[in-house]
Amino acid sequence: MVAANRAAAVDVLAWHLGAHPSARPFGGLSFMLGGSTNLEAVAPGVQQGDLSAIAAVEVPRLLNAWSWPPPRIALMPDWDAKLDALAEETPVAPVRALSGTPSWALVLLERLAERHGTPPFPNLELLVHGGVAYAPYRDRLRPYLPPGCATREVYAASEGFIAAADRSDGEGMRLIADGGVFAEFVPVEELDSLNPTRHWAATIETGVDYAVVVTSCAGLWSYVLGDVVRFVTRGPPRMLVTGRTSYFLSVFGEHLDGGEIEKALLAAVQDEGVGVAEYTVGAIFEGTRGRHRYLVEPTGTVAPDDTPRIARRLDDALLAANDDYAAHRLGAQLDPPEIVLLPPAPSPRGCAPRASRAASTRSPASSPTPPASSKPMRPCATWPPAPTPTRHRPEILAA
């Protein structure tokens, strides 16, 4: 699996060079931003740790001279201390490539900009991102990226390297068919079925929401990743990650997925000149009727009087995107959505990245989690035909 992940990383680099022949990624440092690279020995010859830790220690020795940060900083378990060290010691001019989740990258770039100005990496050519949806961070990251810096999305889960962008931002990620993972795709609505339809690369259709199921050379068999993808091309297969199998809002039968919610919300606030830092949404009940309540932390100032207008835009976008939502909204059950603005959160300093699955797989900036007064969301389904491994196990690396 380690060899397969290395090969996938080479694919990402090759696709970048194919699109940008004059790029010089080895003309400077490659910055891998992740959690602590400290691995724990759990048995003779067996170590475990965060995916970013495994990736960092598996960098070929030949490339160490082009890699940052050094082990002395990368091994720091305390995020605040690590961030201080990175801000103080990172040689910004030589950095040509940066990889990490958008949320972590934003915190780092903000700190570096305080010390070095904007953009903090003047020669940055490539930002490789994954782990969370990029859309909520795109506008917030843009001021910190130099002109011409390319962005390339990857779908690198703990269970395997699934896909990577081989074209422009937003055009989908190409399925990596030779990366040690056999991927199957199950229509989301069939995930709870005892005999669901199991598609593979040759039988998928565009425009359909699929749950991703993998069998890998590392021992997984018919394992539900929990991500929802939608293919935009078939030859070769290219996908967009639209949400998680657990991120569905369907208390009234409206069948909204996380991707539809996020896209509509971002479009609704865009006309106000702000973005969405974080959000959550759930259902509330008012007698025999109900509505969706959105708790939104904007990236800028929004007057409270503007929230009804934003809510109307949100409602219009969802009506146009989802027929089930429209049917229930125009019926006698679901009232227009409500938006509640939240004050800005404290500085991200002190909010350490967790060594968890969130660091290595895709999820929205904030999951549509219901308030305490609402019904629970549709739970993440298990995969009936297969004995599912425990979800909380750490990634295992055989030494």
Residue 337: pLDDT above 50? yes
Q: Looking at residue 111, what is its pLDDT? A: 92
Three-state SS annotation for 220-284? CCCEEEEEEEEEEEECCEEEEEEEECCCEECCCCCCEEHHHHHHHHHHHHHCCCCCEEEEEEEEE
Please give the helix or strand (H or E) that residue 91 lies within, else none: none
Q: Which of 54-58, 266-270, 273-277 has the lowest mean pLDDT?
A: 54-58
User: 112: pLDDT confidence band, cut at 50, 70 and 90?
Assistant: very high
More confident residue, 193 or 132: 193
Global confidence as pTM: 0.71
Query: Could you report the per-residue pLDDT of 30-52, keeping only the tens digit for each?
Result: 998 876 667 788 899 888 777 76
Q: Which of 62-76, 225-239, 361-375 has the lowest mean pLDDT?
A: 361-375
Which among 33, 212, 24 is positioned nearest to 129, based on CA atoms? 33
Q: Percent of the chain having pLDDT more than 70?
A: 84
Q: Looking at residue 59, what is its pLDDT? A: 75
Mean pLDDT of 375-387: 34
More confident residue, 368 or 205: 205
Residue 211: pLDDT above 80? yes
Mean pLDDT of 139-166: 92
SS3 at position 120: coil
Q: Which of 272-286, 290-304, 320-334, 338-352 has the lowest mean pLDDT?
A: 338-352
φ, ψ dihedrals at 57, nearest 5°: -75, -15
The token pair that represents 119 in the structure block? 């953009």
Q: Looking at residue 36, what is its pLDDT? A: 64
Mean pLDDT of 353-375: 37
What's the chain's average pLDDT? 81
User: 369: pLDDT confidence band, cut at 50, 70 and 90?
Assistant: very low
Q: Which of 70-74, 225-229, 391-395 has the lowest mean pLDDT?
A: 391-395
Q: Looking at residue 17, what is its pLDDT? A: 92
Tracing tokens 């309540």 back to the chain, one arrives at 293
- Distance from C-alpha of 357 to C-alpha of 226, rounded to nearest angstrom: 11
User: 393: pLDDT confidence band, cut at 50, 70 and 90?
Assistant: very low
Query: Could you report the per-residue pLDDT of 127-144, keeping only the tens digit for each?
Result: 999 888 888 788 889 999
More confident residue, 199 or 272: 199
Residue 242: pLDDT above 80? yes
Q: Percent of the chain having pLDDT more than 90?
A: 40
Residue 358: pLDDT above 80? no
Q: Looking at residue 255, what is its pLDDT? A: 81
Q: Looking at residue 354, what is its pLDDT? A: 43
Query: Could you report the per-residue pLDDT of 18-34, keeping only the tens digit for each?
Result: 999 999 988 999 998 87
Q: Looking at residue 79, what is its pLDDT? A: 78
337 CB burial (10 A radius; 0-12, 13-18, 19+)? buried
- Distance from C-alpha of 186 to C-alpha of 149, rounded to nearest angstrom: 36
> What are the residues whose beta carbons fall under 8 Å from the beta carbon of 261, sequence distance 6 or more?
247, 249, 281, 318, 364, 368
Q: Looking at residue 4, what is its pLDDT? A: 86
Q: How far is CA 192 from the centre of its chain?
A: 24
